[in-house]
Amino acid sequence: MPFTAHALRYEPEKSFPALYAYLHQRAQRFLGSLRYDSDEVDLVVGHVIERLVCLGLIGGGDHAPATALDQLNDAQFYAFLNQCVKNKAIDRLRKRRLLVSSVAELDYADETEGESDRDPLSEAVEPAWGPPPFATPEEVALHLASQQELRNLLKHCIKALSSAPRQFQAVLQELEEMGATELLQDVLTEIQANMPPLNAPLAHSSQHKDHAHKKLRPCLQAHSTNLAVIVALRLTEYVADASNRGEVPIQALAQETLSIHDVQQGLRQLVTEGLLDWDGGETIHLTAAQVKHLSRFYKEE
């Protein structure tokens, strides 16, 4: 079952398993090379759960005072948890890099600074521009720019659904449920179409939503500049058109704007993401499950 801040406060025994599963999945996603280190995953998950317990959100009921988290809608609460996991995972990755540094490197740093008793971990401070990963104002600006680009892309792909009114309405209702009100209003303003009220009943809503998602995914992938996403789209396009399903020659993926080297690099990234099994040969072998996951894959730069 999905979990909410309210459910965690008043029904932790029912909602905690879903919370734990979500945090565990996000921790593995953000830990990168440490994703299969169960101790690191447990540490990240435990950190977030501990903070929620200290705030009285898990099992606090009416005994613990309300917090700002109780005022968040579901989408905002999930975004908050996602950011908490991401920050802790980045912290663990940085500390792991420090711990694997050679003794010689640390000694050299001590000698050059003249402070042999300095603990390198004690030097970690939170930058003025907020918690990791934003250490400089330039990084903040780049992040905001990328978010705006993604927002514009989402608007473009959602607006393309207007020719299928029921699918369009299903997606708009989904945006409202997620609390993405600004994006919703932007789309409605630009479309300026005669739409039924968003809360109007929509027969077979889940079916229309599924069809809409199937159109949105390739639209998002087609406009991506991420090499792994581009190669994922080429793979699914080839499998959809080819009679010999499941076997894709690397040469067939190359295009005028996509060299063989680019294809190989994108394939390696997809292997790292766990979406593909490829040994570096001239042919990629895909299962039906892998094709399904590739068709849903999207990642920002």
State how far the alpha carbon of 166 is from the alpha carbons of 95, 159, 179, 209, in Å: 50, 13, 20, 9
What is the SS3 assignment for 72?
A: coil
Domain assignment present for residue 145? The answer is no
Which residue has tokens 């077979």?
204
pLDDT digit string (tens) for 211-225?
988 888 888 888 888
How many Cβ atoms sit within 10 Å of the Cβ of residue 63? 8
Pick the last residue of a domain from 123, 139, 160. Answer: 123
The C-alpha atoms of residue 78 and residue 15 are separated, in whole angstroms, by 14
Does residue 151 or residue 47 have the better pLDDT?
Answer: 47
Q: Which residue has the tokens 């599963």?
A: 21
Q: How confident is the model at residue 128 (pLDDT cuts 50, 70, 90)?
A: very low
Structure token digits, residue 151: 């927002």
Q: Which phi and psi angles does 240 have, rounded to 5°?
A: -70, -35
Same-domain status, 105 and 24: yes
The domain tally of the chain equals: 3
Domain housing 188: 151-207
Summarised one tens digit per residue, pLDDT across range 159-201 is 888 888 889 888 888 888 776 777 778 787 877 666 667 677 8
Q: With left for phi above 0 and alpha for psi between -120 and 50, is residue 114 left, alpha or beta?
A: left
User: Would you say residue 123 has pLDDT above 70?
Assistant: no
User: Mind listing the pLDDT tens digit for each residue in 239-296?
Assistant: 887 666 678 999 999 987 889 999 999 999 999 999 999 999 999 999 989 998 998 8
